Amino acid sequence: MIVRRSTVELDKLRKSGLLVYQILEDLKRLAVEGATTHDLELAAERMIADAGAKPAFKGYYSQASGTKYPYVLCTSVNDEVVHGMPSAKRKLKAGDIVSIDTGVQLNGYFGDSAVTVPVGQVNDSVRRLLKVTEESLELAIDRVRAGNRLFDVCGAVEKHVQSHGFSIVREFVGHGIGTSLHEEPQIPNYVDRRGENPRLKPGMVLAVEPMVNAGKPDTKVLGDKWTAVAKDGSYSAHFEHMIAVTDNGPWVLSRP
């Protein structure tokens, strides 16, 4: 069942979304040459605590890994697709890209958003990967409308990414979000005809998160049980927003 949220609930999700936005804005500025992903983690921990919120990822148990995720951020560098773990040993260098993904819980309602940023100068093909992935999210956002169906959203990502010759990661998907971090429906970044194709209705809130590889789509999870990397070592980009279906079209909760 896909929960439909009241306007009061949407306002709470909005607050969580804006908190995540503010954190990511600050972290983007900290993701410079010489900084470590642990530096980002420390800053995020402080911002979440200062806001009176709780981290959504830290302590999150995943069936697939059989462990609890130990950090407030996922920092996925270069060929890391998602769930990269912050580390004092991971120093960012010019030419890297880093996906910064974080979630919060505020007054019982969750926020979740991610952005991938370049560190220093990156080459043209990497810039194109980031641009196409972000564009695919924007096209998907525009499909989050009452009366549309889930596949309209999934298909928008798929079509844009395919047409630019990049690959869609299939092992990880977006999700509904509300009083849990992960709610129904699952939101693949491609049309999965084996899955459900519900009609979108006002009050539904979707976290759409395209994960796109420059090379082949295949991923594998490292020995730490979390870090997913592109099998072929190619760069991977990831953007995420949470979007409410309203009578007036898509409402992106995770940006002003």
Residues that bind Co ion (CB under 5 A): 112, 207
Residue type, 194: R
Q: Which stretch binds ligand MF3 (CB under 6 A): 19-27, 56-64, 84-92, 146-154?
A: 56-64
How many Cα atoms sit within 13 Å of 144 on the Cβ side?
Answer: 26
Q: Does residue 240 interact with ligand MF3 by CB under 6 A?
A: yes
| b (16+ CB within 10 A) / e for 221-246 | beeeebbbbbeeebbbbbbbbbbbbb
Q: Does residue 54 interact with ligand MF3 by CB under 6 A?
A: no
Q: Dihedral sign for Cα 163, 167, 171, 175, please.
A: negative
**First-to-final CA distance of the chain:** 29
**Residue placing its CB nearer to Co ion in the complex, 41 or 112:** 112
**Residue placing its CB nearer to ligand MF3 in the complex, 67 or 121:** 67
Q: Which stretch binds ligand MF3 (CB under 6 A): 37-45, 54-62, 121-129, 130-138?
A: 54-62
Residue type, 179: T
- Between CA 171 and CA 127 the distance in angstroms is 24
Of these partners, ligand MF3, Co ion, none, which one is at the site of residue 83 (CB under 5 to 8 Å by kind)? ligand MF3
The Cα-based distances of 107 to 110, 199, 207, 230, 244 in angstroms read 8, 29, 19, 36, 18
The Cα-based distances of 171 to 23, 28, 129 in angstroms read 27, 26, 19
Which listed residue (9, 80, 96, 101) binds ligand MF3 by CB under 6 A?
Answer: 101
Which listed residue (38, 53, 57, 210) binds ligand MF3 by CB under 6 A?
Answer: 57
ω into 185 cis (within 30 of 0): yes
**Cβ(218)–Cβ(196) under 8 Å?**
no
- Smallest gap from residue 51 Cβ to ligand MF3 (A): 18
Q: Does residue 39 interact with ligand MF3 by CB under 6 A?
A: no
What part of residues 208-237 is at the interface with ligand MF3 (CB under 6 A)?
209
- Smallest gap from residue 88 Cβ to Co ion (A): 25
Q: Does residue 69 interact with ligand MF3 by CB under 6 A?
A: yes
Q: Which stretch binds ligand MF3 (CB under 6 A): 1-9, 55-63, 90-98, 193-201?
A: 55-63
Residues that bind ligand MF3 (CB under 6 A): 57, 60, 62, 69, 74, 83, 101, 112, 114, 175, 207, 209, 240
